[in-house]
Amino acid sequence: MTAIGMKKKKIWTDLAERSGRYLDQWGIFFRQFVRHPGMIGSVIPSSQQLVDTMLEGVDWQRTRLFVEYGPGIGTFTRTILDRLPADATLLAIDLNADFIDYLGRHIADPRLRLVHGSAADVERYVGEAGHAQADYVLSGLPFSTLPEGVGPAICDRTRAILRPGGSFLVYQYSARVRGLLAPRFTELAERWEWRNVPPCRAFYARTDMALERAA
């Protein structure tokens, strides 16, 4: 085979491998949705465009602890690890044991701490990770289908573990979560990510900056 022929073959092999990996991940995600629709809240994982939109304002150099709620198959997790400083920690909490098991088998990174549990217990998990506060919390939780009372409890506990000036980043198909964020956070910004399927809302909630300046 000529050099050009070999190069073409490699491109097709890489493409086939990558597509196979995506289909595999989507299959796992879809199967979990069929089993636990209320817990998963979406048929397919988030898009890379949504990942970039949610993470675009993060001050990575100041980040020591980044918490992710509902990592699923790791759509955000991998990009967070790509950008996270070498001495920082990513604490990823998911209620679904199959997702935590999948991530443990597919991502080998000493900065990643996986927890099978509920985001409502985040304070305990942050303490067990050796931290007092988090710089960022990112949430992929389906707030509109969580059991009664769980959404407000998670928002309260998140507010409590964020450092002054820390941010709660929430992506969501429904606007209902706005009513949970607005009374708990000092600043709240919102935008659409139209390139996600389906289009998705991005909320950026921040704790009091004045406290950060006083600290």
Residue nearest to ligand SAM according to CB distances in the complex: 70
* Main-chain dihedrals φ then ψ at residue 31, nearest 5 degrees: -60, -40
Stretch that binds ligand SAM, among 17-25, 91-99, 177-185, 201-209 (CB under 6 A): 91-99
> Does 75 engage in binding with ligand SAM (CB under 6 A)?
yes
Minimum Å gap between C-beta 113 and ligand SAM is 14
User: Segment 127-156, which members bind ligand SAM (CB under 6 A)?
Assistant: 140-142, 150
Stretch that binds ligand SAM, among 68-76, 179-187, 194-202, 203-211 (CB under 6 A): 68-76
Minimum Å gap between C-beta 215 and ligand SAM is 29
Q: How far is CA 127 from CA 33, 49, 87, 108, 122, in A?
A: 31, 32, 17, 22, 9
Minimum Å gap between C-beta 198 and ligand SAM is 12
Q: In the set 66, 99, 102, 185, which binds ligand SAM (CB under 6 A)? A: 99
Q: Does the bond joining 198 to the residue before it have cis omega, within 30 degrees of 0?
A: yes
Q: In the set 54, 84, 94, 157, which binds ligand SAM (CB under 6 A)? A: 94
Which residues contribute to the site for ligand SAM (CB under 6 A)?
Answer: 39-42, 45-46, 69-72, 75-76, 93-96, 99, 118-120, 140-142, 150
